[in-house]
Structure 1
């Protein structure tokens, strides 16, 4: 919890520490949205793998995997390993390209 008596320097230091976590949170929202859009697109490549994957995981396996990746990346950033932020940003960009390819019918 933020103390109301934080000085300007303390608050900026706190914000500097929290900014990567906040950014990763929003990247996670984007990943979940792309995942849902692709899974509901009805693309033949997705439907063929979705049947087997849903049978094995009860339908929530993809979301559980996305959550695990996000949680691991946030944990690494929280302990100071900032390369995880770049890795997760790259992962989000690759997900975006893949979602665009599938949703626009380019594959």
Structure 2
């Protein structure tokens, strides 16, 4: 069950990440060019690696990895909301 929850959180994280990349927010200009190139594919790859590591660790009994990814997802959602609503 935790793997399914992590997968769903990962899907939401990817959607938020892609929306922020496509928003054209001025803060994105401060990112290194490698992270912005090709539509942010390198940053999306990093997002995938974090999700994959969390799922693998959780599947092997490290439940703290699931909690850490959940906390990361909450921070990601708050940051995405701030950037997409232009409150920051």
TM-score by length of 2: 0.90
Aligned equivalents of 2:71 and 2:32: distance in 1?
Answer: 28
Distance 1:103 1:54, change over 3 A: closer
1:100 matched to 2:81? The reply is yes
Q: How many residues matched?
A: 87
Q: Is the 8 A contact 2:21 2:39 kept in 1?
A: no
Runs of 4+ in 1 over 2 A off after TM superposition: none
Q: Which has the larger radius of gyration?
A: 1
Q: Is the 8 A contact 2:21 2:40 kept in 1?
A: no
**Higher relative contact order, structure no. (Cα contacts within 8 Å, ≥ 6 residues apart):** 2
TM-score by length of 1: 0.75
Structure 2, unmatched stretches of 5+, are none
The structure in which a higher percent of residues are helix is 2
Q: For residues 1-107 of structure 1, what are the structure 2 equivalents within 5 Å?
A: 19-46=1-28, 48-49=29-30, 52=33, 53-55=35-37, 59-107=40-88
Structure 1, unmatched stretches of 5+, are 1-18
